[in-house]
Amino acid sequence: MPITVLDPTAGGTTRVATMAPPLRTLAGATVGLLDNGKVNADRFLDHLDAILRERYGVQATVRRRKPNMSAPAPAAILAELTACDAVVSAVGD
């Protein structure tokens, strides 16, 4: 009796991504801070926010929180963060 092997992976298109060019400075920049919703991510981002402003001259931060820690951020949140000069995605625990 022959054995049938099934491939459970989904077929699809491959997207090519490249790194954004590095910022020359954070002074005057707007930095997005994405909280993944896990415990302590908010505390980490509070601390990071203060450091970015005090030491690096960041002008503003945009704070957003994912509604579900195990799912990708909704398109609306990602759209807001793409307007920032840089984004930090934080993981708690």
pLDDT for res 66: 94
pLDDT for 63-83, tens place per residue? 999 999 889 999 999 999 999
Sign of CA pseudo-dihedral 46, 51, 52, 53: positive
DSSP helix/strand/coil, 49: helix
> How far is the C-alpha of 38 from the C-alpha of 68, rounded, in Å?
9
Where do the structural domains in the chain lie, given as residue ranges? 30-90
pLDDT for 3-48, tens place per residue? 888 877 777 677 788 888 999 999 999 999 999 999 999 999 999 9
* The model's pTM: 0.79
Identify which of 74, 70, 73, 72 has the alpha carbon closest to the alpha carbon of residue 92: 70
What secondary structure letter does DSSP report for 9?
A: S
